[in-house]
Structure 1
Amino acid sequence: MHLAQLRALVAVADRGGFTRAATELGLTQSAVSHAVAALERELGHRLVDRDRTGAVLTIVGKAVVDDAREAVRAADRVAERAAASGGELIGELRLGGMPSTNLAVLPGLQRRFARRHPGARVSLLEGTDDEMVDWVERGLVDLSCVVDGLGAVEGPVLAQDEFMVLVDPEHPLAGEASVAVEDLVDDAFVTSASGCEPLVEAIFAAHGLAFRPAHRVTQLGTIVTMVRAGIGVSVVPSLLLAEQPAGVVAMPLNPRVPRVLRIGHRVGGRPHALARAFLDFVVSEGPVTVVG
């Protein structure tokens, strides 16, 4: 069993196909296919089912892929620590972020960190709040952004913002300096099923109000479009409004409701040298604060 075989299996599992895995590894599709086939022969089990749409892990493949991923990461850590001991940071760092951090925070940090450490390859993956916790637990990313109250990671505060009410310019509340949650109960509410809905629901519950959204969507752009059209109102984190979208009015809640985002590794985990360096860099830069 060779490291290249394990690396090929992990890439196929993560990318969902041999072509995309080959692109990630800088190999030919044939080389990746041969590596996985050789591993299957050595283990005596089929690990990947191949079809026209891509590749999926078999039951045995799912059982072994996490161990294969950890073996690959362990080998990478050996190389990274050897380089770090010589004063150089090399290797790959995978960051997981949600739309709000990816719009306003992580790309700038990623660019500045890469300038300081040109031997580091930093990639950014975007997912939902729930996926952030799952990805870092499973080792799909090295560091993940998590909202306090929706999960836990070991790491510093990355950003702080607050929840904002979003209405169309003709709405009766559009001229207010701030808005009480009670003033929203008679409006159709637009929420993001993949975002901070549990926290918004908790805001309503804290005021003894039932949270009954009329519309559940995925993308911020859809929320803005529906609010602009007067279909409903929404409550969203201010990081998502770093660039004020046209045709809507944003106001803070009264009382204000803050949100704290952290970036870190799995609780109890051992981050590699590059991940530790990035966390130290975040601390040196200080948290980004965006309030209304």
Structure 2
Amino acid sequence: MTIIQMEILLKVVETGNFTKAGEELGLSQSAVSHAISNLESELGFALIRRNRTGVSMTPNGKEIIAYMRTMLNILEQMKQKAADIQGMQTGTIRVGSFPSVSIKWMPFILKKFHHEYPSIQVEIREGGYEQIEEWISGGFVDLGFLPFTTKKLPFDMSLLQKDRLVLLLPVHHALSQIKIPNLEQIAKEPFIMPKKGCDVQIRKMFKEKKLKPNVLLEIGDDHAIVAMVQAGLGVSILPEMTLPNAIENIHATYIGEETYRTIGIAASTFATLSPAAQKFLDLTETWIKGQAQ
């Protein structure tokens, strides 16, 4: 069993495709297939299933790949530590991010990070909150940006910044004449509910006031929600960071109840972060603090 065989297997699982895995690793499809076959022969059982839609892990493969991922992560940490001892700053960091962080924070964080650590490569994987949780748990990313929730997660998390929730109204809506609308007023309006994001927090806000929002639509894409409000179909509530700098035909205002989502950066454990990942964490925390001043 070789390191390259394990790296090939992980890439096949990540991409779900032999050809894509080969392209990313600079190998032919036959070389990828040959490496997987040799690995399966050595272990004595199948690791992946091949089907028309791609590949999937066998139950035995799921157990084994966790050990392989741990071994490769430790190897990467060892390489980075050795480079650190020699005064070199190298390595690769994998970071999970969701869209509003990718747009509002990541360009500035990456620019500063690449300036200070030009030899450290950063790989960004963008997804939803649940995907990022799975990536952290499975070792697919070293660090991941996530909103803090009351749900107990098996991660270490550093809280970074509060992101206030904002009420979006069609530009000539009656509530736009009220300086700070309250939830009782909002609950009477057709409401466009975000999905798989801050919807849990929004529903909790209404529930605490013993109110039920008049949900007209449930939409997963923030840009689509903005478009629905612009068209006059209803009102909505979104985190401030998700909004573009300028929005036409929308009146955005805070609501009477100051409510926030808190964004943090998480890892399975901060204690075993690689030197490169620790540098990214430290720089991110410092940059966020600088923005707040």
TM-score by length of 2: 0.91
Instruction: Determine the structure 2 residue equivalent to 1:281.
Output: 283
Aligned equivalent of 2:183, options 176, 181, 184: 181
Q: Distance in 2 between matches of 1:211 and 1:274?
A: 46
Instruction: Determine the structure 1 residue equivalent to 2:193.
Output: 191
Instruction: Determine the structure 2 residue equivalent to 1:124.
Output: 124
Q: Distance in 2 between matches of 1:77 and 1:241?
A: 38
Deviation of 1:9 (Å): 0.9
Q: Which residues of structure 2 form unaligned runs of 5+?
A: none
SS of the residue corresponding to residue 286 of structure 1 reads helix
Deviation of 1:50 (Å): 2.1
Instruction: Determine the structure 1 residue equivalent to 2:224.
Output: 222
197-206 or 50-59, larger mean C-alpha shift: 50-59
Q: Which deviations, in whole Å up to 9, do the C-alpha atoms of 1:201-254 show, x marking residues without a partner?
A: 111122222345331121111101111111111110000114233222211111
Measured on the aligned residues, the alpha-carbon RMSD in Å equals: 2.0
Instruction: Assess, with a 3 A threshold, how the Cα gap between structure 1 residues 156 and 72 changes in structure 2: closer, same or farther.
Output: same
Instruction: Determine the structure 1 residue equivalent to 2:57.
Output: 57
Deviation of 1:263 (Å): 0.8
Structure 1 consecutive aligned stretches of length 4 or more whose deviation exceeds 6 Å: none
**Contact 2:89–2:276 at 8 Å: present in 1 too?**
yes
Deviation of 1:51 (Å): 3.2
Deviation of 1:265 (Å): 1.1
Matches within 5 A, 1:64-79: 64-79=64-79
Instruction: Determine the structure 1 residue equivalent to 2:5.
Output: 5
Q: Which residues of structure 1 form unaligned runs of 5+?
A: none
Q: Distance in 1 between matches of 2:225 and 2:290?
A: 24
Deviation of 1:141 (Å): 1.0
Instruction: Determine the structure 2 residue equivalent to 1:255.
Output: 257
Matched, 1:21 2:26: no
48-57 or 189-198, larger mean C-alpha shift: 48-57
Instruction: Determine the structure 2 residue equivalent to 1:86.
Output: 86
**Contact 1:176–1:251 at 8 Å: present in 2 too?**
no
260-269 or 100-109, larger mean C-alpha shift: 260-269
Matched, 1:100 2:100: yes
SS of the residue corresponding to residue 165 of structure 2 reads strand
Deviation of 1:140 (Å): 1.5
Write the letter of the residue equivalent to 1:125: R
Q: In the comparison of the two structures, how many residue pairs are matched?
A: 290
SS of the residue corresponding to residue 177 of structure 2 reads coil
Write the letter of the residue equivalent to 1:210: K
Deviation of 1:268 (Å): 6.4
Write the letter of the residue equivalent to 2:254: P
SS of the residue corresponding to residue 259 of structure 1 reads strand
Q: Distance in 2 between matches of 1:288 and 1:149?
A: 24
Write the letter of the residue equivalent to 2:31: A
Q: Distance in 2 between matches of 1:278 and 1:197?
A: 30
Q: Which deviations, in whole Å up to 9, do the C-alpha atoms of 1:171-214 show, x marking residues without a partner?
A: 11123332211111112211222211111111112222234533
Q: Distance in 2 between matches of 1:143 and 1:32?
A: 28
150-159 or 271-280, larger mean C-alpha shift: 150-159
Deviation of 1:160 (Å): 2.5
**Contact 1:100–1:237 at 8 Å: present in 2 too?**
no
Write the letter of the residue equivalent to 2:199: E
**Contact 2:148–2:159 at 8 Å: present in 1 too?**
no
Deviation of 1:162 (Å): 0.1
Deviation of 1:36 (Å): 1.1
Deviation of 1:267 (Å): 4.2
Q: Distance in 1 between matches of 2:215 and 2:85?
A: 54
Instruction: Determine the structure 2 residue equivalent to 1:140.
Output: 140
Instruction: Assess, with a 3 A threshold, how the Cα gap between structure 1 residues 35 and 202 changes in structure 2: closer, same or farther.
Output: same
